[in-house]
Structure 1
Amino acid sequence: MQPLLRTALAAALVLGASRPGGAHELWLTLSTVEQVPQVRVNYGHASKREAPSPLKLIELVALTQDGSTSLRAGLKPAPPEVPPALLAPLGTKPGRTLVAATYDAGYWATLRDGTRLNASRRLVPDAREGRWSVKYAKAAFGPGAPWLRVVGHTLEIVPIEVPGPTAGAIRVRVLFRGAPLPGADLYYGDSGMEPERAGVPAYTTDPDGIATVPIRKAGSQVLTVSQTVSPSATPTLADEDVYTATFAFRLDEPSVN
């Protein structure tokens, strides 16, 4: 049977789920703690963040033009007075750094009554549906970062250009298993707000997997893509595999739009 692929791409400070009330997201931001630049690993949604598990964070790496450095050894929970997250000292100049992360969200089963359990079909064989979920995240912390680098995530957003401080849009290519992913529906939400899908115009990646995402306000931006594959690569454990990826950056000057 040929796997069924379903795609959704959103752009906002934090993405909306690929289906209503659906998946959590992983995205990276930059914080300063005691004058030390820190990578902040965020999980959940803008309005409801959760603490990501360090045991599920498979990879956290800082990339510059000179090489790469793993940041996992420095992971620690964020202080309780701020939204939950994981923090890791950056150790490089933020303006020159791209950070990439891989997070295994595991198997999830939805029961007949709608209850969701962090379990596979092996333990919940009569579940209404089962899925395996993995999250990828990238963030460019400055104009000198290697924005255009392909890091090799199964699902990945790769900018085609580095937007200037007054850019009104950014062009990106979406890759799935290393190949361009066409037909992705794009949505844009204003910086600082979760996108509402109803009534918002959609943008679609072309046959080369390229899309142009408008930037309407300055500040934090996150592009998000999700890809669902059915049947799952492990059909005895899940019905489908759900991949999501984010790309975060900042524009600190008003845009031309």
Structure 2
Amino acid sequence: MLPLLRTALAAALVLGASQPGSAHELWLTLSTADSVPQIRVNYGHASKREAPNPAQLVELVALTQDGSASLRGSLKPAPPEVPPALLAPLAGKPGRTLVAATYDGGYWTTLRDGTRLKASRRLVPDARSGQWSVKYAKAAFGPGAPWLRVIGHTLEIVPVEVPGPTAGAIRVRVLFRGAPLPGADLYYGDSGMEPERAGTPAYATDQDGIATVPIRKAGSQVLTVTQTVSPSATPTLADEDVYTATFAFRLDEPSVN
């Protein structure tokens, strides 16, 4: 049987803690509160942020035109007075940096009564459904960053061009397993938050995997896409695999040279 592919909204399903496997997303922002710029690894959704588990953060890497460097070894929790996140100091010029992350969302099962458990079908074989999820995140922090670089994530949002500071839209291509993904629904959020589902239009990719997403205002922007594959690559553990990707950027930051 060929796997069934479904593309859908990935962020902020307004299901709270009762649906942790599907409601929580990963996105990257830049913190300049301290003298050293820091990458914020954010997890959760717009109404409730949570600290991501460092043990599930498979990769966190900073890329410039000159090379790459892993940031995973310098992770630390955010201080309690700010929203929960993981922080990693960023050496070099933020305006020239693209950061990418991979996060294992793990296995989740739904029981017959609707209860969700963080367990695979191996432990809950009579569950109503089960899924495995992985979350990819990218963020470009300035015009000198390698915006157009393909990282190689299973699901990835790649800009077609670098938007100017007053751009009214951004053109991006969605890749799944390295190939353009037609019919994918992209969702847009601003103010540094991942997009909410209610009242948010989707912007579908064309046959070349490209979509044009309007930008409502300057500041932080986040694009989100999800791809669901059924049956799972591990059918004894889950029924479906859920891939999510985000791409974050700002349009009002001055160039950092």
TM-score by length of 1: 0.91
* Amino acid across the alignment from 1:51: A
Cα offset for 1:128? Answer: 1.1
Higher relative contact order (CA 8 A, sep 6+): 1
Bigger CA drift: 28-37 or 227-236?
A: 28-37
Q: Which residue number in structure 2 is paired with residue 74 of structure 1?
A: 74
Q: Distance in 2 between matches of 1:99 and 1:248?
A: 10
Q: Deviations over 1:200-242 (max 9, x none)?
A: 4432100000000000111110111100000000000000000
In the alignment, does 2:83 pair up with 1:83? yes
Structure 2 segments unaligned to the other structure (5+ residues): none
Q: Is the 8 A contact 1:9 1:223 kept in 2?
A: no
Q: Which residue number in structure 2 is paired with residue 219 of structure 1?
A: 219
Q: Which residue number in structure 2 is paired with residue 16 of structure 1?
A: 12
For 1:44-193, list aligned pairs within 5 A. Answer: 44-191=44-191
Q: Distance in 2 between matches of 1:9 and 1:208?
A: 20
Structure 1 segments unaligned to the other structure (5+ residues): none
Q: Distance in 2 between matches of 1:247 and 1:198?
A: 20
Bigger CA drift: 75-84 or 188-197?
A: 188-197
* Amino acid across the alignment from 2:12: G
Q: Distance in 2 between matches of 1:136 and 1:88?
A: 17
Bigger CA drift: 107-116 or 175-184?
A: 107-116
Q: Is the 8 A contact 1:95 1:145 kept in 2?
A: yes
Change beyond 3 A, Cα 1:151–1:217? same
Q: Distance in 2 between matches of 1:220 and 1:239?
A: 35
Change beyond 3 A, Cα 1:158–1:46? same
Cα offset for 1:188? Answer: 3.4
TM-score by length of 2: 0.91
Q: Deviations over 1:113-169 (max 9, x none)?
A: 221111100111111110000000000000000000001000000000111110000
Cα offset for 1:111? Answer: 1.2
Change beyond 3 A, Cα 1:189–1:86? closer
Aligned length: 249
